[in-house]
Amino acid sequence: MNYQQILQEISNEVSTFPNTGEVANYIPELAKVDPKKFGIHLTTVNNEHFAIGDSEDRFSIQSISKVFTVAMAFSLLGDQLWKRVGVEPSGNPFNSIVQLEYENGIPRNPFVNAGALVVVDVLLSELKDAERDLFAFVQSLTGVSDITYNPIVAQSEKETGYLNVAFVNMMKAKGNIENDADEILDFYYKQCSIEMNCRELACAFLHFGENGKAYDHAGFRLTKSQVKRINALMLSCGFYDESGHFAFKVGLAGKSGVGGGIAALYPEEFAVAVWSPKLNKKGNSVRGFNSLELLTTKTGASLF
């Protein structure tokens, strides 16, 4: 498979599409990102790398980080985790509070904001230094030692994160939060403000698709069965309330973020990351979505 040629074809085709969508302007710092940026990096299980565009530029990974934190929490608690957060698609926006109210403070899945906040609460309860361990885990997955978060973006999110405050306090009232709300929110904003490039994301996600193997990174061990379940969550819940459409059009497990990134994988073959900051109304990268649809069409690489 000539992946480099395929990426070039994808770039050529996507450049002819209308550059629709909007950057995530509800987070002031993300509104400053150049909307014309576009990059793809694909890495195979044989350690081959193929890239095009702005694939080496680091950007705010936002909700893609939720894959890393849920992997850590699943490693620590096993199936006990799912007593506090569900595994079903929400069918609602990632920042909807309505569902959380009538489901008694148990978030529908760990990729909506409320679910990710419960996962943070788990990490803070189980680990002596959750922040240090998160960065050690991500650095271990990528093999890159200088990955960290952007404090300016984190502060920008903190200043506008009113709904996240509401989520934590509602779940605290329902008995599903153990730690201090401010501590949870500070960690969460740092997590979402992690900056990575397409190459680093592709390398990190490859570990979730390498022949379904168990793995151990920075002391967090996932069994083969747990890796499969994280893949299932990414397929069914990884793209907000557009997850079914992504499975229908693209057919890969993955996770998107409102920074414009999408990371996805085809087990036993490759992982790929795309970055293009303009989002559709569901919060997913317009050109990222289009690029991955073209990739699976051209390669025939689909879970189905």
Indicate the domain borders of the chain: 3-299
Provide mean pLDDT across the span 115-130: 98
Nearest partner of 252 among 199, 196, 202, 302, judged by Cα: 302
Q: What length does the chain have?
A: 304
pTM of the model: 0.96
pLDDT in tens, 205-227: 999 997 667 788 989 999 999 99
pLDDT in tens, 168-184: 999 999 999 999 999 99
> For residue 19, what pLDDT is reported?
85
CA–CA separation, 166 vs 185, rounded Å? 11
Nearest partner of 275 among 294, 296, 256, 249, judged by Cα: 256
User: What is the 8-class DSSP label of residue 196?
Assistant: E
Fold of the domain spanning 3-299: Beta-lactamase (3.40.710)
Q: Considering the chain, what is the average pLDDT of its residues? A: 95
CA–CA separation, 206 vs 104, rounded Å? 36
> For residue 99, what pLDDT is reported?
82
CA–CA separation, 140 vs 131, rounded Å? 14
Amino acid identity, position 144: V
Task: Indicate if the pLDDT at residue 28 is higher than 80.
Answer: yes
